[in-house]
Structure 1
Amino acid sequence: MKKTKEETNETISQLKEIARKHFTEHGYAAAVLDEIVKEADLTRGAVYHHFGSKKGLFLAVLESVQREVALKVEAEAGQSEDVWDQLILGCHAFVSTAVEPRNKRIMLIDGPAVLGWEAWRSMDEQGSMRLLHEQLQLMQQQGYFQSVSIDALTHILSGALNESSLWIAQMPNVTESVEDTMNIISQLLERYRS
């Protein structure tokens, strides 16, 4: 019996959510595809049909994680009308969301290791870095960062946020570490504020 598009989408969503749980708990290397499909009450064939491989399934999960983080960044930044506050709120949302247990291993650790640095970086550029670049460009058009290359600032700030997230994820007091990071990020940005 042929599945409807809605049933197919439901199967794909279910596989991704169960896989996300396994990748989070065990990491990509130790996650067992047979256990994922068993929990989903499916066969390995379903994974190969929809994702091509375990790596393809991981890629789909990582894309979902990155979309969720981007939505959180946009939602938090959107709580203010002031572009400076939007930037700070967005940076804060990124680091605090990236280090959530549900996200950090997939997005920050296994993502670059499984996909390779260039592929992971390309995904980052299309997601969080794109949002950051757009915000910084808007700010420059409004008179901020006049003497600064927005491309360079985007890469430097994105790198700082990613590296800080990795550091924060290992700290015993995540809340305090996020605040320490944001104090430094704010001071860094203030130096270039026009």
Structure 2
Amino acid sequence: MQQPAERRSNRERTETTRRDLIAAARKLFTEKSYAETSTPEIVAAAGVTRGALYHHFEDKQALFRAVVEHEAELVAAEIERAAPDTLPARKALIAGGEAFIKAMATPGRTRLLLLDGPAVLGRAEMDAIDARHGTRTLRAGIAFAMRDGVMKRLSLDAVTALVSSAFDRAALAIDAGAPVEDYRKALTALIEGLTPGR
């Protein structure tokens, strides 16, 4: 009867070590950049052995990928909380967009997802990560607006890509010090222009 408890304990330890590595790496990647962060620094910050790092991740890039994926999950979760299925299509897109801007204000997130992510992992891999998270939520919102008749039926892929790019550019500008309210209003106007109604 002792064995299942031990297995669960080992699994919990494994998950804790993985979480600690991701948290330590995130802190260092955002403070110093991916290029300037070494694996010995990550190991020391996480309080684990080098062997533990390589047990969980093939290399530094694999750990970075896990950090980026986790950040993208957090952004998508905030968007989904702000824009539940019960909201009308236009309001859901606006609320989701505002949640994205708010989520991207978390220190270091813009750097991870919009600057270092594409540089380290490549555009194709970042697009795949986005497609599982933030872009997935945007695509669903745009599809809902088209089905609901408040947005003209155009290529779903094209509209999603263009609106996503607008939000990413806004996040980069805000991170560089541009006024949040200016971009929030502009993005709301963009969504309103795309969703004039039936």
Q: Scaled by the length of structure 1, what TM-score is found?
A: 0.90
* 1:97-176 equivalences in 2 (<5 Å): 97-171=103-177
Give unmatched runs, 5+ long, in structure 2. 1-6
The aligned counterpart of 1:179 is 181
1:36 pairs with 2:46 = no
5+ long unaligned stretches in structure 1? none
**How far off is 1:102 after superposition?**
3.6
AA in 2 matched with 1:63: E
Among 61, 67, 72, which residue is 1:55 paired with? 61
Given the superposition, is the C-alpha separation of residues 79 and 118 from structure 1 closer, same or farther in structure 2, using an over 3 Å criterion? closer
Instruction: Give, as a single letter, the amino acid of the residue that structure 2 aligns with 1:99.
Output: A
Counterpart CA distance in 1 for 2:89 and 2:103 is 21
Q: What is the distance in 2 between the residues matched to 1:70 and 1:11?
A: 24
Coordinate RMSD, CA, aligned: 2.0
Is 1:96–1:178's contact at 8 Å kept on the other side of the alignment? Answer: no
1:10 shift after superposition: 0.8
1:76 has 2:82 as partner: yes
User: Percent same amino acid among aligned pairs?
Assistant: 35
Cα distance between partner residues in 2 of 1:92 and 1:31: 32
Instruction: Quote how far apart the aligned CAs of 1:188 are.
Output: 2.1
2:13 to 7, 13, 28: 7
Shift of 1:181: 1.4
Count of paired positions: 190
Query: 2:190 corresponds to which letter in structure 1?
Result: L
Q: Note closer, same or farther for the CA distance 1:79–1:25 as it changes in structure 2 (3 Å cut).
A: farther
Of 32-41 and 141-150, more deviation after overlay is shown by 141-150
Give the CA deviation at 1:190.
2.3
Q: Secondary structure at the match of 1:29?
A: coil
Task: Return the offset for 1:80.
Answer: 6.6
Asked whether the equivalents of residues 29 and 37 of structure 2 are also in contact (C-alpha less than 8 Å), the reply is: yes
Q: Deviations over 1:27-83 (max 9, x none)?
A: 111112111111222122211111100111110011100000110111112397232
Give the C-alpha shift of residue 17 in structure 1: 0.8
